[in-house]
Amino acid sequence: MSEIVTYRVPAMSCEHCKAAVSEELSAVEGVESVDVDLQTKQVRVAGAALDDRTLRAAIDEAGYEVA
Ligand SMILES: [Cu+2]
């Protein structure tokens, strides 16, 4: 069963941020796709059996904070 989780990461401002966050999240188990909208500062993660804590840790690992 696929699910979608979204986070707001205000510090994302350019393609570099987008790539860094996407890369870390993509490496998380269960993640199928990551979409970053720099306009709304939203990260949309799609996948199966997603673990909120692990996803937040991945964003943190990329050097960004979830709002
Ligand atoms: Cu940036």
Distances (CA, A) of 19 to 2, 10, 11, 38, 49: 23, 15, 13, 11, 23
- Cα 61 to ligand 1 centre (Å): 15
Confidence grade of residue 14 (pLDDT, cut at 50, 70, 90): very high
- Cα 38 to ligand 1 centre (Å): 9
Confidence grade of residue 1 (pLDDT, cut at 50, 70, 90): confident
pLDDT tens string 49-64 = 999 999 999 999 999 9
Predicted TM-score (pTM) of this structure: 0.94
- Cα 5 to ligand 1 centre (Å): 22
Length of the chain: 67
- Cα 55 to ligand 1 centre (Å): 19
